[in-house]
Amino acid sequence: MNFARPSVLLVALFSAARHGLLCADPVPNPSPLAPFLEAHCADCHDADSKKGGLDLGALTANLSKPDSLSDPETFALWVRLHDRIESGEMPPAKKPRPAPTDREKALQWIAQTLETQELQQSRDHVRTGVRRLTRAEYENTVRDLFSMPGILVQNLLPADGSALGFDKNTDALDLSHVNIAKYVEAAEKILDLAIATRPTPPPSSKIRLTLAGNYQTNLTLMGGDAMLLKDGKLHPDTPPAGAHAHIDQGAHERMGAFEGEDSSTAVFRHEDESFNPYYQRFASLYPGMYKVRASFWSLQWEKGSILPSRTTEAARLSIVHFNENGRGGGHPSTVLGYFDAPSLKPAEHAFETWLNPRETFGFNTASLAHVVLYRVGTWGQLNRTMGYTGPCIVNDWLEVEGPVHDIWPPRSHRLLFPDLPMEEFSPKRKDGPRMPARPVLKQDILGARNRPDPVQPAFTVKSDQPEADAERLLAAFLPRAFRRPVPDEIRAAYLEQFRQRLAAGDGFELAMRWVYRAALCSPDFLYHVEPATTLDPHALASRVSYLLWNSQPDDTLTKLAASGTLSQPNTLAREVQRLLEDRRSDRFIEDFLGQWLKLRSIAANDPDKKLYPEFSAYLQDSMVNETRAFFRELLTKNLGAAHLVKSDFAMLNERLAQLYNIPGVTGPAIRRVQLPPDCPRGPFLTQAALLKITANGTTTSPVPRGAFVMGRLLGRPPQPPPPNIPAVEPDVRGATTIRELLERHRSNASCSACHAYIDPPGLALEAFDVIGGMRTRYRSLDQGDPAPRGNIDSKISVQFLLGPSVDTTGEFADARRFSNIAELQNLLAADPHRLLSNLARQLTIYATGRDVAFRDRAALAQVVARTEAQGGGLRTLLHEVIRSPLFQTR
């Protein structure tokens, strides 16, 4: 209340204005900001009080310094100032409200200033800085360009960074010599797999495999964690372990107990550190597509009797990538999927997958709890399998057929050497042009029985007119690799290198290989090259396909770009729809959600085994699939943004339904389930994946969860905490609740300024534990009451206790109250505009690789308005983002 002090601000602003530093032209009128700040802000935000660390006097005085707004932190501060006033957050509710016109004028003045500054700064700059491909983009591009859908190159490359939450931004994508070296290495790997080394396709074989036969599985068959069945009954020759274990595994192997194509393997045990069953009799020798069929079923075993199982169990298949010669377990693997194993009646599953060389399939009884019937050293254990009661998953066989080539040479080879015959050569010859290395293919995975041809003559591509052929090949390859037409000079430069390699003694294949490798390491391939203003058709096609497929445009899109019709709204909309309906758009969902909702961090923490014994990898994978399937459903059915926080349906499988206590769902497949009216489940807000990601494996805290909701869903990310705040040491003994530990957030005024916004949603979400299950009491290990089992699998030992009650009441900073999660959902769902605007912003940042500048806000608001006018659906939003000038200009 200093009536004598107004001049400081006014003087500062006037002098700044006079220096013409606040506007493009010298200011004729005094700025409306000064009186506004004086009347409504200066009391708290002057040099003495400095509430929230903000000293408006200093800030506005600094405006008179040249280029003060070019400092990003100062600029961001002014943006925050603008937004706080605009949202009505400032002045705080208790203070008198400013007159609407004054407020408007002040806001307009700030907005104009900021926009002018931006325009000045952008004179020589483009908004989206040129950037290289991200790791995922690189891998997908290679996979699509070479038609090798399963080649693994992403892990060769160093990790990308993150800017504004996404890696599709030049600030996240730096380079060092290490990246270059890895690109060279990756290019070699790609060319090795892509180039055909024989004129006829490699022999395709069809092999029927059983789990029995692999050393680890045999061991479990001996001990009793698995057993053999024949025709759905106990195997007559080799019964399950009972009062005695089986004796002498070697004798059993020699007697062929584990051979026999008509015997099924029934497994009780879940994968663990000593048990990773692989179908090791097969290890791929050739890259290519393989057809796989597998037969699974399940049963309830009761001390020797086979009974119907409790439900359709889930069998997991994965691709195992052998390192070294296959010895031991724990080789890296990629999950292929979870398959129905119905009660007593086998289900046959069929699918196709790409295999690289040295790979096989792995199996797991995903939906079974961890049990071990037999432990080494407990030979005295009576009755083993015959004394056991519990569920069991049976695999009758797994059939692998391949490599399956519909054409030969394969597409990868035709990309590089179309229409050229092959001729045999002798690798031993030392004279003549240098020939490519052709290492003799051998099966070196232990236990694998499939073999390559014993005689392997060496072939290479033959060219009678090397230069003419090279020119033709480059003319076809370079535009496809570089994603746009390639001028003659560039092609000529590559051709010149080819000539030099020939002159240096390389044969045709090696010389072309040199040139192809160079192309794959050149900036034209590695970078998104876009013109400096409005995107030309090829750049537009690229932007659209890297958004929706995270990869290069396909032939259809490229042709439309070449014809010049792509930017026509109808054509573009049709293409967007086509790309969305193609399965490759799964990559968009995975990549975007992986970053926007942080799904990439799903495995950052393992839940404490004693507190959450029911957690499993199957549950974790199901959680991620739920979130992806939900987003897919929102896009397909074009549902609105309220679904981010509240939904009448959920995308579930049985395991998730079990976690969420929703009856009537069986099997591992994710499907849409209508929810009862008061069920909070369904939307992102209450999905297990997000609840897990915002916890740390042992405890939950309202702060990260609240910050997540604020930042990721509502578009109002909180400011970072002040330095030197000691971290909270969580107490899992059950003595104090997190709400009590965070008491200072409410009682301390400088804490509550921010935490009044952050904590409330987080406190409501305290209703959910570390793995996303609902709770009314905290789990603890020391103090508390015995916990009822609920629907936790009967084989899992429940050791945790129930501690203090969960209090989910809260109050938003604007005094809207809620007492439970349902009420919070209603409050948030009541403002779909805010949710939609934030999602629009996130999509735009992701799709354009840059932040939404201050002067872009109008265009973004237009995107939102147009979407809302058409019903507010998320698919519409995606279309509108792509139509917007934000997307179509640099």
Ranges within 333-372 binding another protein (CB under 8 A): none
Asked if residue 720 binds another protein (CB under 8 A), the reply is yes
For 500, phi then psi, to 5°, come to -65, -35
User: 454-467: b or e for each residue (b if 16 or more CB lie within 10 Å)?
Assistant: eeeebbbbbbeebe
Asked if residue 503 binds another protein (CB under 8 A), the reply is no
Distance CA 588, CA 574 (A): 18
Q: Which residues contact 193 (CB under 8 A, 6 or more apart)?
A: 146, 148, 151, 287, 356, 412
CB 183, min distance to another protein, A: 9
CB 727, min distance to another protein, A: 4
Distance CA 581, CA 296 (A): 31
Stretch of 76-84, 196-204, 333-341, 524-532 lying at the interface with another protein (CB under 8 A): 524-532
Distance CA 446, CA 81 (A): 67
Among 244, 303, 449, 672, indicate the residue that binds another protein (CB under 8 A).
244
Distance from first CA to last CA of the chain, Å, rounded? 49
Note the residue count of the chain: 890
Which of the residues 619 through 658 are near another protein (CB under 8 A)?
A: none
Among 155, 556, 805, 819, indicate the residue that binds another protein (CB under 8 A).
155
Which of the residues 265 through 324 are near another protein (CB under 8 A)?
A: 273
Asked if residue 243 binds another protein (CB under 8 A), the reply is yes
Comparison of 217 and 311: residue with beta carbon closer to another protein: 217
Comparison of 253 and 401: residue with beta carbon closer to another protein: 253
Comparison of 1 and 437: residue with beta carbon closer to another protein: 437
Stretch of 25-33, 78-86, 237-245, 447-455 lying at the interface with another protein (CB under 8 A): 237-245
Which of the residues 747 through 786 are near another protein (CB under 8 A)?
A: 781-782
Comparison of 217 and 699: residue with beta carbon closer to another protein: 699
Structure-block tokens of residue 746: 């409410």
Cα atoms in the 13 Å half-sphere on the side-chain side of 820: 7
CB 726, min distance to another protein, A: 7
CB 608, min distance to another protein, A: 5
Stretch of 63-71, 136-144, 192-200, 517-525 lying at the interface with another protein (CB under 8 A): 517-525
Task: Name the helix (H) or strand (E) containing 474.
Answer: helix 466-482
Comparison of 371 and 518: residue with beta carbon closer to another protein: 518
- Best CA proximity match to 764, nearest among 714, 713, 811, 821: 821
Asked if residue 171 binds another protein (CB under 8 A), the reply is yes
SS3 state of residue 396: strand
Comparison of 5 and 127: residue with beta carbon closer to another protein: 127
SS3 state of residue 443: coil
Distance CA 524, CA 552 (A): 13
Among 727, 747, 749, 788, indicate the residue that binds another protein (CB under 8 A).
727
CB 124, min distance to another protein, A: 5
CA separation, residue 480 to residues 496, 556, 565 (Å): 20, 12, 19
Distance CA 184, CA 460 (A): 22
**Which residues partner with 801 through β-bridges?**
780, 786
Distance CA 827, CA 259 (A): 63
Among 219, 371, 446, 490, indicate the residue that binds another protein (CB under 8 A).
490
Distance CA 363, CA 338 (A): 10
What DSSP character marks residue 41?
A: T
- Best CA proximity match to 680, nearest among 595, 615, 775, 756: 775
Among 303, 733, 744, 789, indicate the residue that binds another protein (CB under 8 A).
733
Among 35, 52, 150, 165, indicate the residue that binds another protein (CB under 8 A).
165
Stretch of 77-85, 171-179, 296-304, 358-366 lying at the interface with another protein (CB under 8 A): 171-179
Rg (CA), the chain: 32
Tell me how many residues contact another protein (CB under 8 A): 86
Comparison of 95 and 125: residue with beta carbon closer to another protein: 125
- Best CA proximity match to 695, nearest among 812, 617, 594, 773: 773
CB 851, min distance to another protein, A: 9
SS3 state of residue 55: coil
Among 732, 741, 753, 798, indicate the residue that binds another protein (CB under 8 A).
732
Check: CB of residue 226 under 8 Å from CB of residue 268: yes
Site track for another protein across 43-82, x = CB under 8 A: ----------------------------------------
- Which is it for the CA torsion 730, 734, 736, 738, positive or negative? positive
Stretch of 102-110, 650-658, 719-727, 829-837 lying at the interface with another protein (CB under 8 A): 719-727
Structure-block tokens of residue 183: 């690109």
Among 148, 445, 481, 526, indicate the residue that binds another protein (CB under 8 A).
526
Asked if residue 256 binds another protein (CB under 8 A), the reply is yes
Which of the residues 659 through 698 are near another protein (CB under 8 A)?
A: 696-698
Asked if residue 245 binds another protein (CB under 8 A), the reply is yes
Stretch of 76-84, 414-422, 522-530, 792-800 lying at the interface with another protein (CB under 8 A): 522-530
Comparison of 501 and 879: residue with beta carbon closer to another protein: 501
Asked if residue 247 binds another protein (CB under 8 A), the reply is yes
Site track for another protein across 117-146, x = CB under 8 A: -------xxx--xxxx--------------
What DSSP character marks residue 605?
A: -
Asked if residue 177 binds another protein (CB under 8 A), the reply is yes
CA separation, residue 290 to residues 351, 403, 434, 584 (Å): 9, 5, 34, 19
Comparison of 630 and 778: residue with beta carbon closer to another protein: 778
Structure-block tokens of residue 269: 């045990």
Check: CB of residue 474 under 8 Å from CB of residue 418: no
- Best CA proximity match to 690, nearest among 615, 632, 765, 778: 765
